[in-house]
Structure 1
Amino acid sequence: MDKTSWLNLPSLSFPVKTLFTGYLMVTGLGLLMAGAQIMLTHGMADGKFGLSVNDIVYSYYGNQTGTTLEAKLNGSMKMNAPPQERFTLIQWARDGAPKSEWEPKIKPIVDQYCAKCHGKLAGIPDLPKYDVIKLFAKVDHGATEASMVRVAHIHLFGISFIFFFVGLIFSMTVGWNRWVKGTLVFIPFAFLVVDVASWWLTKWNPEFAWFVIIGGFGYSLASTIMIFTSLYQMWIMPWRGKSSDENTWHVDAA
């Protein structure tokens, strides 16, 4: 048995433990909210609640049997308009989005059910304008390359910071084999790359949609293990290894 320094979770001071705990709890809540957001956006791409391979395919490769507008109205936007109005919009898009029907028939529906967000919130297409909505009345080819680049760089920069600090805190746990600990710290980064790379692969070939699900599941599971293990060792784990100076733990050398 070798004596470790103070830099391990069970021996941290109370203020540092509360700092780490607050960060881990908020991060865990953020991961739950991210999962809920995925269920309410990508998870509704096929019109059914719950994430499936079809949801991933429709989100990135597209539902190339219909228009983008139809895919949205049967998917994530399904609850925002009554069935008859949605059918009218879908049929208009299937007919080639004729401008002659825009002012008398289509624009009133869009103004009533879509304009409360579209055209008022930044980053959302201004659908009450004919020149904008006609772009969505075309065959659905999924997410555009520009939107994927924008989301990908946010994911890679932002989420990697989350994984860095979660991994840093977890690296202070005791009782782990160093190779197991190092693997757990590295897994979220590896699966994040798999997740983002598979968006592009799915855009090219829908068979790669499974890798999106595998990537998200992999980094979520590893992060959950690290968060709960860290919280356990800070607050619940018995202090049977505590030394007489009350600031040092004895653990097996890794």
Structure 2
Amino acid sequence: TATFVRLQGIGHVRVHQHRPVRGTVKTVSVKREGHRWYVILSCEDVPAEPLPATGAVVGIDLGVASLVTTSDGDHLDNPRHLAASADRLAVAQRDLARTKRGSKRRRKAVARIAALHGKVRRQRLDGAHKAALHLVRDYDVIAHEDLRIANMTRSASGTVETPGRNVTQKSGLNRSLLDAGWGVFLRILADKAESAGRELIAVNPRNTSRTCAACGHVAKENRLTQAGFHCQRCAHTAHADVNAAINILRAGLALRDVAQAA
């Protein structure tokens, strides 16, 4: 059956509905991405769809090598969609630079770049939905780092008064963080957790990557490499992200106990 949306001043427009509308529609907005148009519905009083309890809890560490590493030792891949499209984007940017302003070729070049970026956004969104769904299906309680992503990806160049250091390396790291899409993933995870009746706990990330999950010793030297963790006190060895995820889980459960006792 065809689905139509009535837009003021335009009339009824046929749309491809990708999922049922639940709750009460409050606002309707229209967005254009390249040659594609989207109708976005905002709803309230959306009925929850709680999932059966699993009795399992997990801590997750967000990263660049793996988007998510769990305290159980699982790694969810980070596809790096922007990096995968870097060559095509570079070619499209060079083609744009050769065009004249106001020309038909320039409009086509701009549309091509917008289409490439739109594809990256859709791929990143799809990956975030799948990763979040995997977690809310398997765990009743999910603890994650309370990350300030905007601060983490602040301009590497700094200001005239206080110029940045290691600008090239920091800029590359910023691109990797934004390509991973941590903010998108955490937002989707929060929405799915609420709908599924799961508990999401945000914890302070301070020292979670430097603390030994076996003995609690905190030292910068414990983190040997990006993936290697070796405690300088008890000699505990583990994957660094798994070790951090265990610490995040413990911190989350401690916060939960405090909240329940209050």
* Bigger strand fraction: 2
Q: Which has the higher contact order (CA 8 A, sep 6+)?
A: 1
Q: Same fold (TM over 0.5)?
A: no
- Higher percent of residues as helix: 1
TM-score (norm 1): 0.29
**Which structure would you say has the larger Rg?**
1
